[in-house]
Amino acid sequence: MAVTKPAGGRPARERVHRAAVRLFATKGFHGTGIRDLAKAADLSSASLYHYMPTKERLLADIMRTSLQSLLDAALGELDGVDDPVERLDRLVALHVTRHAREPMRTRVVDNEVDALTPASRRDVVGIRDSYEKLWSDTIDDGLHSGVFTTTRPATTRLALLDMCNGVARWFSPGGELGRSDLADHYADLARRMVGAPPRQPR
């Protein structure tokens, strides 16, 4: 099937995904109707179904793709890195930078998992759990090697992720810090939370 593409525009499938991310992030999954999606993607309601089987399948695809991309990027960042402090720095920098760069997509991933069917939810939560295990393994390794001192590793991990997730709600490219400086600042905060040695000034 040919992918429709207006002059100077994006392919229809990409427009549908971009429109869905924007609408799901601002109106919520249940608050977004098929007509809303069609209008935002510059398609008719009938032709929209050529590019998405159902609205829920579209949401699941967005969430799976986003989480798998984040997991793959994290695995790449940690490849060959044994030092748990460096691993934590890299995880925080990646997470903060991704949330600052793609706030709407990450809001959808963080907020709409309950809208999925049980089968889709299992797939999405499985990827999310694999990603979060990288954080828990890093904290556990830091504790075992004596460079982290937190007495509540599970709670600290949840607090760290919640802190980093919040970037998607408030970060502005025109604000006080750019993405790189923000990531550095959050890495400093993360070290304090786990009881790791502070970073040396550049």
Quickly count: other Cβ atoms within 10 Å of residue 105's Cβ.
24
Average pLDDT over residues 34-42: 93
Domains of the chain, start order:
12-48 (1.10.10.60), 55-194 (1.10.357.10)
Query: What is the per-residue pLDDT for 5?
Result: 47
Spatial separation of the C-alpha atoms in residues 165 and 32, rounded to whole Å: 23
Nearest to 23 by CA among 10, 36, 38: 36
Euclidean distance between CA atoms 118 and 113, whole angstroms:
10
pLDDT in the model for residue 6: 44
Interval 99-126: pLDDT, tens: 999 999 999 999 999 999 999 999 999 9
pLDDT in tens, 154-202: 999 999 999 999 999 999 888 888 899 999 999 999 999 999 998 876 5
| Residue 95 pLDDT | 97
Give the three-class secondary structure for 170. Answer: helix
Tokens of 57: 């399948």
Which pair of tokens denotes residue 154?
A: 């599970």
